[in-house]
């Protein structure tokens, strides 16, 4: 009798396994050990099979299964959105910004991006264009997304002491960087889910400056600011009437720099082009007056996103009439670098290039004389970015 009952239970167990329905485990109150063992083994086998089955619900088509690199094998490279504000109602103009746009357009087109340029937008129109690109562009068939914003900027600290970076429209109405990034988050722009979103901001983030320090190195020397270099260039920060002068810093190559050069991390100093006169004015991307309205969002960054600012939090961003320190450095590195290396390594190269080749000089205003600035990167990328060739 017991043997017949055991046979029937085994048969029912096999039928349950073949049906694919959920298997319920009953407590065994002292039954035969072999019977319980068979049930446990069959249950474990079903669980193992379930785990090995591909799940369409959680399958990530856009993530490479074999490498730590984002999948860049989609039909399109993606959209490169450039918002350039250089003429304002109640703020100083930003000469040199057009040169940045020209250089960046050329380099990102070489990377096979579809470049969209919008000039001199008000705050509400900046919001409108950002939303349009997020919602209307076919991101599903693209590798990634790039957004570059060039304008006056400042920092906003609310009553809760939460700091936000603001980029101004031509009417003085600001859009926060965090808000702009939120429009391309997974929730707002599902077509970019699992894909890198890269933001570059040429705008001041406050009013601080950094003088830098001279460092003594064994068997090498660092020249004083301005020595051995007769080139001068007038630097400005976007938004104030100060006109600090700037020029590339003169630094002898150290053993560390020699090793960096072997790794393609130390480009030659950027020569002044024929279009750059010796008394060319530079500016800072900052406006000291109050602003009218802000569109803000508290989140600074999102998954699979990266933002690179021209300066650290609270600091000026410098610009010349031939272009900004930051975006000229970015365009130079994109032009000279090996495209097969990780993009984040290129951006480290940009920071090094800018730190070593640019320095302000203003004998009339000591507070902005001999200033240095290095870009700031905030990243939540989860994989490497390699711009593989596209047909």
Q: Which has the closest alpha carbon to 91: 127, 130, 125, 122?
A: 122
Cβ contact 101:328 at 8 Å: no
Select which of 139, 152, 286, 349 is catalytic.
Answer: 152
Q: Which has the closest alpha carbon to 239: 97, 369, 366?
A: 97
Report the run of H or E that residue 14 belongs to, with start and end.
Answer: helix 2-19
Residue length of the chain: 391
Dump the DSSP string for 27-67: P-SS--HHHHHHHHHHHHHHHHHHHHSPPTTT--TTB-SSS
Residue 371 is a catalytic residue: no
Q: Which residue has the tokens 């130390």?
A: 266
Select which of 204, 225, 286, 349 is catalytic.
Answer: 204
Residue 286 is a catalytic residue: no
Cβ contact 146:108 at 8 Å: yes
Helix %, strand %, coil % of the chain (to 5): 30, 25, 50
**CA 356 and chain centroid, separation:** 22
Active site residues: 152, 204
């Amino acid at each position: 009798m017991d043997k017949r009952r055991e046979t029937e239970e085994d048969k029912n167990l096999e039928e349950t396994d073949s049906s694919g329905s959920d298997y319920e485990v009953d407590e065994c109150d002292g039954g035969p050990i072999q019977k319980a063992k068979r049930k446990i083994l069959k249950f474990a086998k079903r669980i193992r099979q379930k785990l090995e089955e591909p799940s369409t619900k959680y399958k990530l088509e856009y993530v490479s299964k074999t490498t730590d690199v984002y999948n860049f094998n989609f039909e399109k490279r993606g959209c490169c959105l450039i918002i350039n504000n250089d003429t304002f109602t109640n703020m100083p103009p930003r000469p040199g910004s057009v040169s940045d746009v020209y250089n960046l357009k050329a380099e990102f087109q070489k990377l096979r991006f579809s470049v969209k340029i919008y000039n001199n937008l008000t705050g509400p129109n900046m919001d409108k264009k950002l939303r349009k690109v997020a919602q209307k562009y076919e991101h599903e068939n693209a590798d990634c997304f790039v957004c570059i914003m060039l304008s006056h900027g400042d920092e906003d600290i609310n009553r809760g002491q939460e700091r936000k970076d603001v980029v101004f429209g031509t009417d003085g109405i600001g859009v926060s960087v965090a808000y702009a990034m939120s429009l391309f988050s997974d929730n707002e722009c599902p077509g970019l889910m699992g894909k890198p979103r890269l933001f570059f901001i040429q705008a001041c983030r406050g009013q601080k400056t950094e003088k830098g320090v001279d460092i003594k190195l064994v068997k090498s020397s660092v020249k004083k600011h301005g020595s051995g270099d007769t080139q001068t260039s007038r630097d400005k920060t976007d938004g104030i009437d100060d006109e600090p002068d700037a020029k590339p810093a003169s630094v002898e190559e150290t053993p560390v720099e020699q090793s960096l050069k072997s790794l393609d991390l130390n480009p030659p100093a950027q020569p002044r082009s024929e279009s750059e006169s010796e008394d060319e004015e530079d500016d800072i991307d900052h406006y000291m007056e109050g602003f009218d309205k802000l569109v803000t969002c508290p989140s600074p960054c999102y998954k699979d996103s990266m933002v690179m600012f021209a300066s650290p939090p609270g600091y000026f961003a410098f610009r010349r009439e031939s272009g900004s320190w930051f975006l000229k450095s970015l365009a130079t590195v994109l032009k000279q670098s090996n495209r097969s290396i990780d993009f984040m390594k290129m951006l480290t190269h940009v920071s090094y290039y800018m730190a070593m080749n640019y320095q302000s000089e203003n004998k009339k205003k000591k507070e902005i004389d001999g200033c240095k600035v290095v870009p700031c990167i905030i990243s939540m990328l989860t994989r490497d970015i390699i711009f593989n060739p596209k047909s």
